[in-house]
Amino acid sequence: MALVFALRQLAHVRLPEYSRRTAAASWGAWLTGQRSFKTGTQPLRSNSKVTVHFVNRDGEKITVKGSPGDSLLDVVINEDLDFDGFGACEGTLACSTCHLIFDEEVYQKLGPITDEEMDMLDLAYGLTDTSRLGCQICLTKALEGMVARVPESVADIRQSKDGSL
Ligand code: FES
């Protein structure tokens, strides 16, 4: 019983004292212009974007940003990048036109490749040891500043010899 009484007394004294100190510190900071907006929330969404450098077929470097979770095909579409024929099947793993080539260091961070992607990648023009399909690569913060090269040409396996789909 004595312990409960002591705790109540302590809480009664400490809580108002804490509130007064916090309020005084906040107003003092406000009046002196030393405001701090530290919170436990996430940074603004724009701060969490991932920078991607695409190198186009003609060697032009294009720097854009995408959100974590977006595929590289999403980034190309969202940023309205004009890579001729890129992403013809809209990410359904039916064309290989979203073929991209990466530096070895980036390639190692891209995550596992599925059998379906591997099968489609085998049909891509200019296949390299560090090739992947852009529609299967999702952005993460670990990929910040990555370089993705668009191959010189594109092969859409859906096209017949006369050029029709
Ligand atoms: S967009 Fe067709 S396979 Fe990626």
- pLDDT 10s digits, 107-120: 999 999 999 999 99
In this structure, the residues whose C-beta lies within 6 A of any atom of ligand 1 are 73, 87-89, 91, 93-98, 120, 133, 135
Distance 86 CA to ligand 1 centre (A): 8
Residue 137 vs residues 30, 50, 114, 161: alpha-carbon distances, Å: 46, 13, 11, 30
Q: What is the mean pLDDT of the chain?
A: 78
Kindly indicate the confidence band of residue 28, based on its pLDDT and cuts at 50, 70 and 90: very low
- pLDDT 10s digits, 49-97: 999 999 999 999 999 999 999 999 999 999 999 998 999 999 999 999 9
Whole-model pTM? 0.68
Q: Ligand 1, closest atom to CA 120? A: 3
Q: Name all domains of the chain by residue range, CATH numbers in brackets.
A: 50-149 (3.10.20.30)
- Dihedral sign (CA 4, 6, 8, 14): negative
